[in-house]
Structure 1
């Protein structure tokens, strides 16, 4: 249900209209369109080429979980960001480029730093902060998890291969389809994520996930905790202490979910149910 501001609704309706219809045209999904009263889930857009885009895998995953996906176009206008958050019921911070380390957590960039998009960094950071402040459920995926961490005072490994030393190294940037799990993570018992995935975890609390990143959470933001690790000790998920509706995962659950592999669908269902 769209909230509060008539102005926000007026601003947002064209985006909602476009998102729903592009989802129907291009998704090639057999899933039914979400019901009218389903929660509105905002998806932060990428902006690498000056265009606002979101991979269709996110749209399909949200629809399968019972939500209505809406693309949130990148902006550096704080008033517009606030109105966007007023108009949604839940938020997914999507994957994408690297975050600027010097601007957001005070570290000089390493040689292996990838592409940064300053306006998107600003947008995602303030979107995350505004959503949490207003009590909107948030799910961060890959870069989105890193954004959550940085937005609330954490830092990142700028480049895992050059910064993480482990006796049990893991390849974190797989060359395989997104529905394929290339390495295992261990989910910590007692965490929100463990409760979400309890029915699909192995007896040792492990699960295979896909992996498409070279950055990761390093110092965890105050008020957050790590809820899953890879074998090399790299954090694979974080969650907000005392708020079960603010989660981040380093892997891409929308990949397998969009292809019909539903073991990770509960991650999206948790967000959608919290947003109702």
Structure 2
């Protein structure tokens, strides 16, 4: 039996659910059975988590800063309140149940907030010093900047190196990281690019989009999904 992987979806202004096919294909190719999770099921989160073996938090719009006790910055982008509440409940319950979680881009940020952390609402206006282009003007599979990886981390073992090239499509980023997570990837400008859990549970959040790279044949990105799926079979 293949592990069932719940994948969260983005929603537009009319609450139409959207999910790039790359997420689905990356899960399938890694050996998982994808299950698309709609918004609005937070009251039934426990039942949903009884169905899935792992949770993939996908990318999308900005996160409501009120969820980490901040008011909106002038450069805050579009938020999806229904999606926020649904994903936060799913992530919190998964953390309590010690089930595997993979967070991608916005998914990393939701994971961090679910654990009690906070975000930069706009790195270009809230961080000091020169900032890299984190919202690249290049095709989605283009590797646009480096990430320095923590020695001994899941990512370092997958990459076989303490440095990795990634794609990048974000303007928000992780700020304060709760003690249940550890920072394992940082861009050369100091922006946090990856966090992992500190316990035995597989918890990995990355700020880039490995699903786009995996379907293009990138071996490191494919291995990220394989490691996740393997953890979901245990």
TM-score above 0.5: yes
**Hey, which bits of structure 1, 4+ residues long, moved more than 6 A?**
none
Q: Is the 8 A contact 1:179 1:261 kept in 2?
A: no
Matches within 5 A, 1:13-162: 37-48=1-12, 49-78=14-43, 80-102=44-66, 104-162=67-125
Q: 2:151 aligns with which of 175, 189, 194?
A: 189
CA distance in 2, matches of 1:132, 1:52: 25
SS in 2 for 1:239: strand
Higher strand fraction (1 or 2): 2
Q: TM-score, normalised by structure 2?
A: 0.96
CA distance in 2, matches of 1:59, 1:229: 27
Compute the RMSD of aligned alpha carbons: 1.2
Tell me how far 1:244 sits from its aligned partner: 4.6
Q: Is the 8 A contact 2:142 2:167 kept in 1?
A: yes
CA distance in 2, matches of 1:57, 1:77: 25
Q: Is the 8 A contact 1:76 1:119 kept in 2?
A: no
Residue 249 of structure 1: aligned partner: 206
Matches within 5 A, 1:213-252: 213-252=170-209
Q: Which runs of 5+ in 2 are unaligned?
A: none
CA distance in 2, matches of 1:191, 1:216: 20
Tell me how far 1:82 sits from its aligned partner: 1.5
Tell me how far 1:52 sits from its aligned partner: 2.0
Q: TM-score, normalised by structure 1?
A: 0.81
Q: Which runs of 5+ in 1 are unaligned?
A: 1-36
Q: Of the two, which has the highest radius of gyration?
A: 1
Residue 15 of structure 1: aligned partner: none
Tell me how far 1:260 sits from its aligned partner: 2.5
